[in-house]
Structure 1
Amino acid sequence: MNLHKLILTNNACFKAGKTILPKGIMVHSTGANNPWLKRYVGPDDGLLGKNQYNNHWNQDKPGGRQVCVHAFIGKLADGSIATYQTLPWNHRGWHAGGTANNSHIGFEICEDGLTDASYFSAVYKEALELCVYLCKLYGFSDKDIICHSEGYKLGIASNHADVMHWFPKHGKNMGTFRADVKRLLSEENKPAESVKKKYYRVQIGAYSVKTNAEAQLAKAKKAGFTDAFIKYD
């Protein structure tokens, strides 16, 4: 995960100063063909690039709306994929349009035209890694992750289609997303396999008379080489 932080301190949501005890994660996507992080995150930190319209979300009410999320995933100015944390994780966001604001960390994946497989693969991977990071941070499991459209069906979010209008175009859905998070968490929790040690052995003599060999072995052990031994070939 390529994680950066630029807290949207000018947003009315941040200034409200309300906190939550996070109980889950809600995955969103922006609903606009603009994969550049600078559209939503600003001002330019040298990586984002300049937003010429200055319509990022680091202002009181972006576009006159009360909106704010905990993070965005999308493109930096150089075209690479990154995650920007935009609210403290335990801050009450304005992302769900329902009671999930009181319980869920919400992040947005910047949409493109929804047909670029390479872009989708990159942001999907970044979203997985963000969820794994948050699961480990708060003790969540894959079962604690939903998208906005699932939140609507559960009665805790407004009626939005994201992300199920996008993921299936690339053979994914929230079921596969949760399964991938579960797999990554499982892999990270596996104990490291014991590595069989290899040794270099040093021979300090070769004798045709056994008593001479025994005398040399005694000297070696007296010198501190307690693992010394005689091998007869």
Structure 2
Amino acid sequence: MELNVKYMTRNDCFTAGRKINPKGIMVHSTATPGVMAADWFSRWNKSYKAGETNRQVAVHAFVDDKGVWQYLPWNHRGWHAGGAANNTHIGFEICEPGGFSYGKGSTMVGYNVSKNEAYFRKAWQNAVELCVMLCRKYDLTEEDIICHSEGANKRIASSHADVMHWFPKHGESMNSFRAAVRAALNKENSHAAGAPGIQVGDVVAIKDSALRYYPGGAAIPEWVKTGSHHKVTQIVSSGKAVVKGGRQCVLLGKKVDKKTGKESAGIMSWIETGSLIVLKSSSPTKKPPDGKALYRVQVGAFSNKKNAEVLLGKIKKAGFDGFIKKG
């Protein structure tokens, strides 16, 4: 999914500046054949108050077969539902292809299903991927996704037919859309759970290159990275890997003094595993049965003893034991 961001700063909805804590996602379709996602900027980036347009409307994004155009911040209160859902739901429009017209109500006249199948599938997939991204970002599930007509049935949106006037023509429904989002979320969680794991009790350092705890998360203060090491206190929630901003995360608990190893109250923050270096594993070292071979780990060999001592110092500083052997 290609995401393009270009805020409609002239739209009165944007300038109103009201924020929401997103609790769901509402899927719309445009009912404007042939007008694609990028085209809506020039249509809606206008002020009703200034007399530039006769409509007061704004959605967070438009989706077509090429990608997504985001026109409002995700936590901005949109004007898309015509009801209470504006206070709780992110709303996006799926653009409808050209080559047909609308008759009475929501009747699509001259719509060629086979001709538009390829477009529909690409737009559908982009919409699914957008929902997956938003679910990750705001801790939502597929059950938090509805379309405009479902919102009308719940009395939190105005009376519209979208998207159920269109999806069934391609053998789809909101139930199958939600199922596609669920499948994509499960795939991501499975991938995350199968990643090389960090265990509870591991002592870790945060990489100097890490700027945020996870994509879209808070910035990591410099003192968190340099002041101490950290102990991992949690790696799953409800039996599943924790994914934030699309990345597998673990919870850092107690701080660990770099010199003494003494533990103290910590930051209790989730951070992506890719930003961590394991300094000391909690997994016990298993002794081999009697008579079995031992395998040594060598990290360097030097002709100059001082170079060997420097490396050994780094190893011990990281929390590992080691020794120098001449041979």
TM-score when normalising by structure 1: 0.73
Structure having the larger proportion of residues in helix: 1
Structure 1 segments, 4+ long, off by >3 Å, are none
* Deviation for aligned residue 1:83: 0.1
CA contact (8 A) 2:47 2:53 kept: no
Q: 1:186 to 1:16 in 2, by over 3 A?
A: same
1:77-134: CA deviation from partner (whole Å, max 9, x where unpaired): xxxx110110000100000000000000000011124530000000000000000000
* Structure 2 residue aligned with 1:87: 72
1:39 CA drift (Å): 2.8
Q: Which amino acid aligns with 2:60?
A: H
Stretch of structure 1 that moved more, 114-123 or 6-15: 114-123
**Structure 2 CA distance for aligned equivalents of residues 93 and 38 of structure 1:** 18
Change (3 A) 1:193 1:139: closer
By how many angstroms is 1:74 displaced?
Answer: 2.1
1:28-177 correspondence to structure 2 within 5 Å: 28-42=28-42, 56-61=43-48, 63-74=53-64, 81-112=66-97, 113=100, 114=111, 115=113, 116-177=116-177
Structure 1 window deviating more from structure 2 (27-36 vs 152-161): it is: 27-36
Q: Deviations over 1:206-228 (max 9, x none)?
A: xxxxxxxxxxxxxxx9x98xxxx
Query: Which protein has the larger Cα radius of gyration, Structure 1 or Structure 2?
Result: 1
Equivalent position amino acid for 2:33 in 1: N
Distance 2:184 2:69 in 1: 21
Q: 1 or 2, which has the higher strand percentage?
A: 2
- How far apart are the structure 1 equivalents of 2:74 and 2:38? 21
Matched, 1:188 2:188: yes
Query: d(CA) in 2 for partners of 1:87 and 1:193?
Result: 34
Q: CA deviation at 1:59?
A: 0.8
Residue identity opposite 1:178 in structure 2: R
Q: Distance in 2 between matches of 1:125 and 1:109?
A: 11
Provide the aligned C-alpha RMSD in A. 1.8
Code of the residue aligned with 2:64 in structure 1: it is: G
Deviations 1:168-225 (A, max 9, x none): 000110000001100100110012277xxxxxxxxxxxxxxxxxxxxxxxxxx9x98x
Q: Distance in 2 between matches of 1:105 and 1:37?
A: 17
Cα offset, 1:63, TM superposition: 4.0
Check whether the contact 1:35–1:74 (CA below 8 A) recurs between aligned residues: no
Residues in 1 aligned to 2:135 and 2:195: alpha-carbon distance in whole angstroms: 24
How many Å apart are 1:60 and its aligned residue?
1.0
**Aligned residue identity for 2:194:** A
> 2: distance between equivalents of 1:185 and 1:35?
30
Gaps of 5+ in 1: 43-55, 76-80, 195-220, 225-233
The alpha-carbon distance between structure 1 residues 63 and 74, as it changes in their structure 2 partners (threshold 3 A), is farther
Query: Secondary structure of 2:67's match?
Result: strand
Q: Percent of counterpart pairs with the same letter?
A: 51
